[in-house]
Every structure is written in structure tokens, then in C-alpha cells.
């Protein structure tokens, strides 16, 4: 076997305590078409060993297709996919060493939690004694030791999710794939599970590809994010860089809120010259709102100032959001609620200002 | 008087008409019949002993069970892969295939049985073809033997097996099989460990339906089987006609009923539930019931593990086949099954345009002469008119009574509802010869034998069952808050029902009406007992014709009856599927 993926079971037979060996994944110009429809087009991407990569995009952007290709459920129409340097484009799913968490969890409803967890080990021919030990260990890790005998239908949503994660990890695969795993959970549980996934990733050091349409999940979990749109990669970067320096208008609007200044009647003053074919963008939290009569800030020289009228004020706990009419268009302004802050009402005249260096130029 | 009034106001009061008919025509007679079979008030089992004491009777009994078991097994073997492939097909193709399964399901049983006579007969399609080709010199004995019985029975029963299977299989989450594959299960292992166990409820309800219907099978075995292939139903019917020893006959009928009851309770199916809703109950591991089997498989599993580990290591990241062979095999299989289901109908329709005096396939020249013969012969047209008359009356009576009953049942506590529904369904779940004898016994006392009223009442008890099943299923999806909303707007109960409930369950009511008509229009066994030879319905006339003279006119009648389901499908489509928000499969079973 020329694959340099070393699997603990496959290689030595019993080297069970070894941590999984994360694998590097490469997409080389991958295209997938269904009849007339192109789901993914010319996708090239490298996922480093042990990296947590998130594929983010709206529905129909090709993110799920990408995962299906990586999982071996679909074969690419063109291009190649390499896992640990070996082409896997036409390797069926059941000959790949991977763990997958499905959106619906896909727990076998006719098997108990324990038998669900046995399944991947059984398919790999792991002996009964080792199976028991490994299942016990992973059940303890996800705090479900007492629930091994339950049927999936007797578990809560969060517990089902943890079983699904445990089942994907129990065979120590070098790759973990997750397909919108948290979309069925409520908000509080979702945050808790995000922490759980993150800590499992750290502990297992496994190469992880996570597909979601939820920008918060992507920002919180990932080492790197790939933003997809209409079957193509729009931008790939770390969460911080992606949010702070989006290269396209789509990324700017999909990840957080963005004021595209070209859409407004605002004449942009900027330190840099505007590159050809781009528009200026500023994040709502970078804009300060103040009473027109208030004294100028000390760094006023580096700021652009416009006047507007408050259209609407939305209070959202820690944040306050203003829609401010400037000329014929509306700018969104977000500020953290703090004590002693002046609150503006619809109809109030306000002064908006922002640092000229906070303006970003994104491809239109 | 007081109690009557409160009862009338209670929802359960709505089931009174349905139960009144059921009890008069079937319920009370069957109890009396049972007592008769025990020689009441003496209460002896002499009649049963007499029945079982005769070698010939026991032989017929075992033969009936044997034929039913084997037919059910063949139906599973053919039906399961077919249902699997239908489920796996792309959506549009799936709908087409389902329609192709439903058409024979809705086609007259007589017409389908007749088709097999045409195909397998001594001067039938296959023999003629082989004779013409010079491969044989005298006709092969294809008909009037056990094989012909199986061919005909499986043909009739296959849709009954496939439809509940498809309905359960469609409910299985596809990502489960994908998940199994992603964990290293090869396609067969994924099927065996995940898909198969989850589809077992469908296998259970399908086989149960097929088996119980086979036990009571009358027409097809009698028409296609030889003298030695007598089924218990045929046997009982012959007894009714010849001996009129009610106690003996009753004993035979209750033995048949007893077998059916034992099987049903052993497999434990709640017949009041539609299979679609019964899918995936959170049952304990199905293997746990059979501990020895479980231990055995586990041990075998353990033995296989070193081999599995080796294969896993050897095949990891190896390129796999694209499964094209499997696809070809599947396509061919589905084509063969569809051919088997539909070809007989095609043959009969083609034959009906035959110009010659004999049954010939392919016809030497085309003409409408047999249709003219049908419409020109008063004995055929009268029979058809009688059948239509009875059918219409049955539809009106059973739809109203059944709809009220279903509505009343939907308002009662689940446990009571289950029991009452089961009772209302007995006329269609009991072997029809048993129902026929009970009804005969009951109507004899009322002096209704040989009257149209008697036949209508007998058909009605069965038809009500279909209406109840279908309307109940529709009511299950009905949001009761809509009624509360109407009542909050000051609509009385009657206005609420007429203005809100009825329009929303209308598709179910129409579906029920169609099935009620089909039930009445195709009924032979009970009708032949009740008609007392004085009334002749279309199926009776056909049945007579099929047994005595094979007059090609029957091909024209059968063709007309084959075209009917297309009409039904259109009717059902217009009222039923189109009004459904989701395109879910809700074909009523039985």
C-alpha cells in the first residue's frame, strides 16, 4: 500500500492508543456537473494536516457538493482530489478512512447508542474487546457513558449530536467532515456544541472540514474559512482577515453587515486611491454616531464626516443599531450599548464619522 | 331517551349507522354461525372433528396454507427488490413506476385472471406461438396446474406487497445508508445492516396482507388451478352450493378464519394503521427477540473480523467499480416485473379487437365485433346495468356512512378508536368466503337473499371499510384547530363540518368512494352466495362465462374493465394528489 496515511488499526493491528495521523487534502481544479447544472467549478484548495477549515456559503453555492465529493459519495466530473498525496477521485466512500457528521445526524434508529458506535469499528474488523474499550473511552469523552443502552430516539437533540460526533471519531480517522451539524439545535445548545467541537478538534488533532451557512459558526470555529458562491471559491482566509479585509462585495455582505458606500450618496474620502473595478465598504461598527453639535474628535483630521437623519433605531441587547438616512440612501451604524451614551430617536439629526483607514475597497 | 340524546351528541354516535349495518349483515350472523358450528346449545366440537377427520379436508387445508405461504414468499422475493428499485429511482421515474404498479392493483381481478387464461390456455398465447413456430406439436399443459395458480396469484398480489414496501422504504432517511458507507460499510453491508432492518415493518405488513388475502383466495385458484389445486374458499363455496349443512360449512369457515387470526396475531400487525404511518417505530433491536440468533451472528461476526481487518487495510483508498453492472441488472429486473404486471392487460385488450371467432393472439385482423357483441347482447348489458346500479347505491351509502364513522372515530380516544376501526375493517380483512357465508346466513333470516338490497348491503360492509381507512388517513392530516377557529366565529357543529371539515377532507372522501365502487364492481364470491342465482351482476356473468365457455365477448368486457383504472387514476389524481401539499404516497392498502 503506497498510501502514507498510517492508520493505527490497519498498520500495526493493535496500536490503538496512537493519535490519528491527520491527512492533507488537496482539490485540484475540481468540477462537478449534474446534467446542465454546474455545482462546483474549477475548485482548487489545500487543507493542511490538522487544520480546521470551514466552507461557508449560501444554499446553492456548491459547499455541500464539495463535501460530498470529499466524502466519496460523488465523483468529480473533472479535476482530482488528493488525500495524503493519493488521488481518491474514484475511490468509493466505504474505502476511505473518514468520519462524517451529517446534518440529520443519521444515527441508526434501530441500533442502540453503543451499537451505533460499534458500527465503524466493526466495519474495520476491530476485535470485540478493543471495540468495547474504544467505545467506552469515546462515550466518556462526550459525557454519555450512562446512555450507551439508549435508542437514538430516546436522546435529546444535543445528546444525539454528541453521539454523532463520537461515532465519527471512534475509529480515529485522519479526516473529519461535518455537514451543517448544528443547524437543528437551538441557540444556547449550538454555542455549547461549538465549544465541544472545537475542543475535540484540538484533542484529536484531526484534519477537519466543516460546511455551514452560518457565519458565526464559521468565525468561531475555523482556522481558515473558504467562502463559496455559485460553485466557485470567492475568498479563502483566516476568520479575522476575511472579516476585516474582504476582497469582494459578496464576502463583505455575506460575512457580517457592510455599508457599500457607492450605493449611497456619499463621496468617499480615502487615504489610498480606489483600485479600478472596486467599491468602497465600511463596517457598521466602524462608524461613530454623534450629535451634530458635539465637539469634533481629536483625530478628526483622519476622519470623514457626513450628516444624516435617524430613520430607525433597533435595540438588540448589547448593541444598538441605527439606520441613518444620508441623502437618498441609508447607512447602518452599530454601537455597543454603554452607560452615559446619547440615544437618538427616529427623526434626530446626527453626525456620522469614521476613520478613513477603515474604508475597504472590494471587488464590485 | 335521555341517554340516546347524549349518545347522539357524542362523536361516537356518528359511528352508529356503520356499526348498525355491520352488525345486521355480518356481526350478529357470524356470532350465530359460530354457535351453529358448535351445535349450540349443545356446544360440541363435533363439526370441527368431522371436518378435520376427513383426509380430503385436511389435505385442502394444508394445501391452502402451503399455496398461501409460497405465494407470499414469491411476492417478497419479487416485490422487495422491485420496491427497493422504485424507491431508489429518480422522482419522476418513481412516480411513473408507481402508477404502473397501481394500474393492475385497481384493475378488475376477473379481468386479470381472464388474461392469464388467455395467455396460458391450450389455445392461448404461449401455446399458439410455440405451435406456430413448430417447436411443439401439441399444446403444453400450462394451465390448470399449480404453477399456473402461482403465476396468477403472485400477479394479483404483487402490487399489494409492493405498495406498503415502497411507502415504508420512502420513509427511510437516505443519509443513513450514506452514513454506513462513510463508516466503511460496503454497499451490501450497508443494505444488510441498515436498510433491511428499517424496511422490515413494510415486509411485515405487506406479507401479512398478501398472506391473509391468499388464504381466502377464490377466483384465481379456481380459474387457473386443476382439480387437485382446490383452495379452502373454493371448497367452502362448493359446500354451500351443494350440501346446505350450515354447521359443517361454518366449521370449515371458522377454521380458515382461525388460521388467518393466528397468523395476524403472531405477526402482530395493527391493521387499523396504514403502513405508511407505522414506519420506524422506536422498537428495541429486532434481534433481541431472538437471542440465540443474535449470539450466533455475533460469533460469526467475530470470526469474520480478521478477514475484514485485512480487507479494510488492503482496499483502503483503492479505486472502486462504478456499479454500472448493478444498474443494468436492476433496470432489467424492473423491466421484467413491469412486463409481468402489465403484459396480461395488453394481451386482453389486443385480443378484444380480434375479428375471428376464437381467442387468437396476435389477432389475424382487427374489428370491434366483440364490443358490438357485448353491447348487443341483453344478458351482458343487463348484467352491466345491474352492477352499475348496485355500485352507485353502494358508493352513496358507504361513503356517507363510512365518512361519518371515520369522523366520529377521529374524535374518540385512541384505544377505543383502534378497536372500533379494527371491527369496521373485519369485512375486508376476513377471508371473503367467511364474510360471504356470514352475510348469507344473516340475510337469509331477513329474507333478502336474491334481492338487490341484499347485495348492496353485503357490498356496503366491505366498502365502508375502505372509506373508513382512507378518510381516517386524510383526517389524520387535518388540523383540528381549523374547526375550533370556525366555532369561535359562531359556526355551529353542522355548519363547521359542512363549511370547513368536509371541503378539506374531500379528497379522502372521493378516494374512498372510488375504492368503494371498485370493491362493489369486482365482487364475485359474496355476490354469488347472496344473489341466489336470480340476480346476475357483471362479475358473476363474467365468472360464469370464464368457467363454461370462453366467448371472446369477455375479452371486450375485460378490456373495458382494464380501462376503468385509468379513469380512476385520473379521478384520484384530480381530487387527491393535486390537493396534497406534499407529494406523499398515500395509496390505501388492501
Q: Smallest Cβ distance to A151: which of B173, B282, B310?
A: B282
- Its ipTM equals 0.82
Q: How many CB atoms lie within 10 A of CB B6?
A: 9
* pLDDT score of B302: 79
Q: Which residue has the cell 475597497?
A: A361
CA distance A263 to A280: 9
Q: Chain B closest CA to A124's CA: distance in Å?
A: 5
As a whole number, mean pLDDT of residues B25-45 equals 85
Q: What are A150-184's pLDDT values in tens digits? A: 999 999 989 999 999 999 999 999 999 999 998 88
Give the C-alpha distances (Å, rounded to integers) separating B309 from A95, B178, B314: 12, 21, 9
A86-87, strands of its sheet edge to edge: A37-47, A25-34, A78-83, A86-87
Topology of domain B9-288+322-360+369-577, per CATH? MetI-like fold (1.10.3720)
Q: Residue B235 has what DSSP assignment?
A: H
pLDDT band at residue B157 using 50, 70 and 90 as cut-offs: very high
CA distance B204 to B207: 5
Q: What are B347-364's pLDDT values in tens digits? A: 888 888 877 766 666 667
Using alpha carbons, select from B83, B234, B78 the residue that is nearest to residue B149. Answer: B234
**Cβ distance B526 to B436 under 8 Å?**
yes
Q: How many CA atoms lie within 13 A of B126 on its CB side?
A: 15
pLDDT band at residue B96 using 50, 70 and 90 as cut-offs: very high
> Torsion over CA of A258, A263, A269 and A271, rounded to 10 degrees?
50
Q: For the packed helices B291-315 and A113-123, what is the interaxial angle rounded to 10 degrees?
A: 40
CA distance A34 to A39: 7
| Chain B residues 136-175 within an 8 A CB cutoff of chain A | 173, 175
Task: Provide the 3-class DSSP secondary structure of residue B354.
Answer: strand
Quickly count helices (H) and strands (E) in chain B: 28, 0
Q: Which of A106, A151, A155 to mutate to test the interface with B (most CBs of B within 10 A)?
A: A106
Phi, psi of B168 (to 5 degrees): -75, -40
Sign of the CA dihedral with B155 first, then B157, B160, and B166 last: negative
pLDDT at B584 over 70: no
CA distance A216 to A213: 9
Q: Smallest Cβ distance to B185: which of A111, A123, A126?
A: A123
Q: Smallest Cβ distance to B305: which of A97, A102, A127?
A: A127
Q: Chain B closest CA to A101's CA: distance in Å?
A: 8
3-state secondary structure chain A: CCCCCCCHHHHHCCCCCCCCCCCCEEEEEEEEEECCEEEEEEEEEEECCCCEEEEECCCCCCHHHHHHHHHCCCCCCEEEEEECCEECCCCCHHHCCCEEECCCCCCCCCCCHHHHHHHHHHHCCCCHHHHHHHHHHHHHHCCCHHHCCCCHHHCCHHHHHHHHHHHHHCCCCCEEEEECCCCCCCHHHHHHHHHHHHHHHHHHCCEEEEEECCHHHHHHHCCEEEEEECCEEEEEECHHHHHHCCCEHHHHHHCCCCEEHHHCCCCCCCCCCCCCCEEEEECHHHCEEECCCCCCCCCHHHEEEEEEEEEEEEEECCEEEEEEEECCEEEEEEEECCCCCCCCCCCCEEEEEEEHHHCEEEEC
Q: Chain B closest CA to A119's CA: distance in Å?
A: 7
pLDDT band at residue B44 using 50, 70 and 90 as cut-offs: confident
> Torsion over CA of B117, B123, B129 and B133, rounded to 10 degrees?
160
Give the C-alpha distances (Å, rounded to integers) separating B372 from B352, B362, B368, B472, B541: 11, 20, 6, 43, 17
CA distance A95 to B317: 5
Check CB contact under 8 Å for B313 and A7.
yes
Check CB contact under 8 Å for A94 and B190.
yes
Q: How many CA atoms lie within 13 A of B47 on its CB side?
A: 22
Q: Residue B366 has what DSSP assignment?
A: B
Kindly state whether A92 is in contact with chain B, defined as any CB-CB distance less than 8 angstroms: yes
- The helix or strand, by DSSP H or E, that contains position B550, with its residue range, turns out to be none
For residue A257 the three cell numbers come to 453587515
Domain residue spans in chain B? 9-288+322-360+369-577
Q: Smallest Cβ distance to B317: which of A91, A104, A120?
A: A91
Check CB contact under 8 Å for B175 and A104.
yes
CA distance B255 to A106: 47
- The helix or strand, by DSSP H or E, that contains position B38, with its residue range, turns out to be none
More confident residue, B480 or B188: B188
* pLDDT score of A56: 94
Q: Which residue has the cell 366555532?
A: B487
- Cβ contacts of residue B431 below 8 Å, gap of 6+? B212, B215, B216, B233, B253, B256, B257, B260
Kindly state whether B196 is in contact with chain A, defined as any CB-CB distance less than 8 angstroms: no
Kindly state whether A153 is in contact with chain B, defined as any CB-CB distance less than 8 angstroms: yes
CA distance B422 to B27: 13
Kindly state whether B549 is in contact with chain A, defined as any CB-CB distance less than 8 angstroms: no
**Cβ distance B152 to B124 under 8 Å?**
no
Check CB contact under 8 Å for A13 and B309.
yes
Q: What are B380-392's pLDDT values in tens digits? A: 899 999 999 999 9
For residue A58 the three cell numbers come to 449560501
* pLDDT score of B578: 62
Q: How many CB atoms lie within 10 A of CB B573?
A: 11
* Residue-level length of chain B: 590
Task: Provide the 3-class DSSP secondary structure of residue B586.
Answer: coil
Kindly state whether A155 is in contact with chain B, defined as any CB-CB distance less than 8 angstroms: no
Strand-strand pairing, A52-56 and A224-229: parallel
Q: Which residue has the cell 441613518?
A: A324
CA distance B47 to B45: 6
Strand-strand pairing, A99-101 and A52-56: unpaired
Chain B residues whose beta carbon lies within 8 Å of the beta carbon of residue A73: 178, 181-182
**Cβ distance B167 to B276 under 8 Å?**
yes
As a whole number, mean pLDDT of residues B24-51 equals 85
Which chain A residue's Cα is nearest to B288? A111
Kindly state whether B90 is in contact with chain A, defined as any CB-CB distance less than 8 angstroms: no
Q: Smallest Cβ distance to B316: which of A73, A95, A115?
A: A95
Q: For the packed helices A128-141 and A113-123, what is the interaxial angle rounded to 10 degrees?
A: 130
Check CB contact under 8 Å for A119 and B193.
yes
As a whole number, mean pLDDT of residues B209-217 equals 87
Strand-strand pairing, A259-260 and A278-282: antiparallel
Q: How many CB atoms lie within 10 A of CB A202?
A: 11
Per-residue pLDDT of chain A (364 residues; tens, 9 = 90+): 334 444 444 333 343 444 456 778 999 999 999 988 999 999 999 999 999 999 999 988 999 999 999 999 989 999 999 998 889 988 888 989 999 999 989 999 999 999 999 999 999 989 888 999 999 999 999 999 999 999 999 999 899 999 999 999 999 999 999 999 988 888 888 888 899 899 999 988 899 999 999 998 999 899 999 999 999 999 999 999 999 999 999 999 998 888 888 766 667 777 677 788 888 899 999 999 999 888 888 888 888 888 899 999 998 888 999 999 988 788 999 998 888 888 899 999 999 989 888 888 898 7
Kindly state whether A110 is in contact with chain B, defined as any CB-CB distance less than 8 angstroms: yes
* pLDDT score of A16: 40
Using alpha carbons, select from A115, A70, A71, A75 the residue that is nearest to residue A94. Answer: A71
**Cβ distance A189 to A157 under 8 Å?**
yes
Task: Provide the 3-class DSSP secondary structure of residue B319.
Answer: coil
Burial tier of B3 (Cβ tally within 10 Å: 0-12, 13-18, 19+)? exposed
Cβ contacts below 8 Å, chain A against chain B, sum to 139
For residue B9 the three cell numbers come to 351528541
Which chain B residue's Cα is nearest to A13? B309
Q: Smallest Cβ distance to A108: which of B194, B283, B318?
A: B194
* pLDDT score of B273: 40
Give the C-alpha distances (Å, rounded to integers) separating B589 from A261, B74, B273: 63, 19, 10
Kindly state whether A133 is in contact with chain B, defined as any CB-CB distance less than 8 angstroms: no
Query: What domains, with CATH codes, occur in chain A?
Result: 8-98+173-249 (3.40.50.300), 258-363 (2.40.50.140)
Check CB contact under 8 Å for B316 and A98.
no
Amino acid at each position: 500500500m503506497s498510501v502514507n496515511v498510517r492508520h493505527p488499526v490497519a498498520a500495526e493491528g493493535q496500536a490503538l492508543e496512537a493519535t490519528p495521523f491527520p491527512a492533507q487534502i488537496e482539490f485540484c481544479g475540481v468540477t462537478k456537473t449534474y446534467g446542465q447544472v454546474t455545482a462546483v467549478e474549477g475548485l482548487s484548495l489545500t487543507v493542511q494536516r490538522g487544520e480546521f477549515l470551514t466552507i461557508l456559503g449560501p444554499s446553492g453555492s456548491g459547499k455541500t457538493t464539495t463535501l460530498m465529493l470529499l466524502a466519496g459519495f460523488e465523483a468529480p466530473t473533472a479535476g482530482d482530489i488528493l488525500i495524503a498525496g493519493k488521488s481518491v477521485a474514484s475511490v468509493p466512500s466505504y474505502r476511505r478512512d473518514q468520519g462524517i457528521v451529517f446534518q440529520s445526524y443519521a444515527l441508526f434508529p434501530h441500533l442502540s447508542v453503543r451499537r451505533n458506535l460499534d458500527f465503524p469499528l466493526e466495519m474495520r474488523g476491530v476485535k470485540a474487546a478493543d471495540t468495547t474499550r474504544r467505545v467506552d473511552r469515546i462515550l466518556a469523552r462526550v459525557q454519555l457513558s450512562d446512555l450507551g443502552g439508549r435508542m437514538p430516539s430516546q436522546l435529546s437533540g444535543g445528546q444525539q449530536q454528541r453521539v454523532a460526533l463520537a461515532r465519527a471519531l471512534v475509529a480515529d480517522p485522519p479526516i473529519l467532515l461535518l455537514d451543517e451539524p448544528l443547524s437543528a439545535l437551538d441557540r444556547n445548545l449550538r454555542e455549547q456544541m461549538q465549544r465541544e467541537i472545537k475542543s475535540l478538534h484540538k484533542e484529536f488533532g484531526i484534519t477537519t472540514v466543516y460546511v455551514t451557512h452560518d457565519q458565526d459558526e464559521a468565525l468561531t470555529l475555523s482556522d481558515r474559512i473558504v467562502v463559496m458562491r455559485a460553485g466557485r471559491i470567492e475568498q479563502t482566509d483566516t476568520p479575522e482577515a476575511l472579516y476585516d479585509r474582504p476582497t469582494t462585495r459578496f464576502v463583505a455582505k455575506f460575512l457580517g453587515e457592510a455599508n457599500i458606500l457607492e450605493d449611497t450618496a456619499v463621496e468617499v474620502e480615502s487615504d489610498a486611491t480606489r483600485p479600478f473595478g472596486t467599491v468602497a465598504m465600511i463596517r457598521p461598527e466602524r462608524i461613530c454616531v454623534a450629535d451634530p453639535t458635539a465637539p469634533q474628535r481629536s483625530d478628526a483630521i483622519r476622519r470623514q464626516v457626513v450628516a444624516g437623519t435617524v430613520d430607525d433605531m433597533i435595540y438588540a441587547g448589547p448593541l444598538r443599531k441605527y439606520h441613518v438616512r444620508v441623502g437618498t440612501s441609508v447607512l447602518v451604524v452599530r454601537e455597543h450599548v454603554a452607560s452615559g451614551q446619547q440615544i437618538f430617536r427616529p427623526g434626530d439629526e446626527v453626525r456620522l464619522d469614521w476613520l478613513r483607514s477603515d474604508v475597504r475597497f472590494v471587488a464590485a | 331517551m335521555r341517554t340516546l340524546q347524549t349518545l347522539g351528541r357524542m362523536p361516537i354516535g356518528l359511528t352508529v349507522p356503520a356499526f348498525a349495518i355491520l352488525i345486521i349483515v355480518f356481526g350478529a350472523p357470524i356470532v350465530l354461525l359460530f354457535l351453529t358450528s358448535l351445535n349450540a346449545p349443545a356446544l360440541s366440537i363435533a363439526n370441527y372433528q368431522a371436518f378435520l377427520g376427513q383426509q380430503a379436508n385436511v389435505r385442502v387445508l394444508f394445501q391452502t396454507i402451503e399455496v398461501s405461504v409460497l405465494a407470499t414468499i414469491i411476492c417478497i422475493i419479487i416485490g422487495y427488490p422491485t420496491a427497493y428499485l422504485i424507491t431508489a429511482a429518480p422522482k419522476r421515474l418513481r412516480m411513473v413506476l408507481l402508477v404502473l404498479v397501481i394500474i393492475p392493483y385497481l384493475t378488475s381481478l376477473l379481468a386479470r385472471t381472464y388474461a392469464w387464461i388467455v395467455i396460458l390456455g391450450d389455445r392461448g398465447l404461449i401455446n399458439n406461438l410455440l405451435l406456430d413456430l413448430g417447436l411443439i406439436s401439441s399444446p403444453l399443459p400450462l394451465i390448470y396446474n399449480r404453477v399456473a395458480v402461482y403465476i396468477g396469484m403472485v400477479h394479483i398480489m404483487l402490487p399489494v406487497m409492493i405498495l406498503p414496501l415502497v411507502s415504508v422504504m420512502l420513509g427511510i432517511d437516505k443519509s443513513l445508508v450514506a452514513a454506513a458507507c462513510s463508516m466503511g460499510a460496503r454497499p451490501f453491508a450497508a443494505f444488510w445492516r441498515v436498510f433491511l432492518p428499517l424496511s422490515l415493518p413494510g415486509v411485515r405488513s405487506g406479507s401479512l396482507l398478501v398472506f391473509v388475502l391468499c388464504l381466502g383466495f377464490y377466483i384465481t385458484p379456481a380459474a387457473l388451478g386443476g382439480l387437485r389445486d382446490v383452495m379452502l374458499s373454493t371448497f367452502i363455496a362448493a359446500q354451500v352450493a351443494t350440501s346446505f349443512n350450515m354447521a359443517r360449512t361454518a366449521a370449515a369457515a371458522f377454521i380458515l378464519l382461525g388460521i388467518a387470526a393466528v397468523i395476524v396475531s403472531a405477526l402482530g400487525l395493527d391493521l387499523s394503521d396504514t403502513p405508511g404511518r407505522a414506519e420506524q417505530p422506536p422498537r428495541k433491536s429486532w434481534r433481541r427477540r431472538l437471542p440465540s440468533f443474535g449470539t450466533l451472528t455475533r460469533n460469526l461476526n467475530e470470526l469474520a473480523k480478521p478477514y475484514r481487518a485485512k480487507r479494510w487495510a488492503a482496499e483502503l483508498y483503492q479505486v472502486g467499480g462504478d456499479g454500472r453492472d448493478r444498474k443494468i441488472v436492476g433496470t432489467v429486473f424492473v423491466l421484467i416485473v413491469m412486463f409481468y404486471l402489465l403484459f396480461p392487460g395488453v394481451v386482453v385488450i389486443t385480443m378484444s379487437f380480434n375479428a375471428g371467432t376464437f381467442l387468437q393472439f396476435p389477432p389475424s385482423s382487427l374489428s370491434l365485433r366483440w364490443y358490438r357483441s357485448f353491447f348487443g347482447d341483453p344478458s351482458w348489458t343487463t348484467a352491466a346495468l345491474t352492477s352499475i346500479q348496485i355500485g352507485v347505491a353502494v358508493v352513496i351509502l358507504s361513503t356517507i356512512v363510512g365518512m361519518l364513522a371515520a369522523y366520529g372515530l377521529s374524535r374518540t380516544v385512541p384505544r377505543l378508536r383502534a378497536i372500533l376501526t379494527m371491527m369496521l375493517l373485519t369485512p375486508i380483512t376476513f377471508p371473503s368466503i367467511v364474510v360471504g357465508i356470514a352475510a348469507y346466513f344473516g340475510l337469509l333470516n331477513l329474507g333478502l337473499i336474491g334481492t338487490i338490497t341484499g347485495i348492496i348491503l353485503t357490498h356496503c360492509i366491505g366498502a365502508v371499510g375502505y372509506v373508513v381507512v382512507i378518510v381516517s388517513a386524510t383526517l389524520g392530516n387535518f388540523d383540528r384547530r381549523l374547526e375550533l377557529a370556525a366555532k369561535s366565529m359562531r359556526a355551529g357543529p353542522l355548519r363547521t363540518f359542512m363549511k370547513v371539515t368536509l371541503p378539506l377532507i374531500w379528497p379522502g372522501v372521493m378516494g374512498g368512494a372510488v375504492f368503494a365502487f371498485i370493491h362493489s364492481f369486482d365482487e364475485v364470491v359474496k355476490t354469488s352466495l347472496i344473489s341466489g342465482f336470480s340476480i346476475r351482476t357483471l362479475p358473476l356473468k363474467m365468472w360464469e362465462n370464464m368457467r363454461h365457455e370462453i366467448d371472446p365477448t369477455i375479452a371486450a368486457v375485460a378490456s373495458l374493465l382494464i380501462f376503468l383504472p385509468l379513469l380512476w387514476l385520473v379521478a384520484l389524481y384530480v381530487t387527491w394528489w393535486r390537493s396534497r401539499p406534499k407529494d406523499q404516497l398515500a395509496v390505501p392498502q388492501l
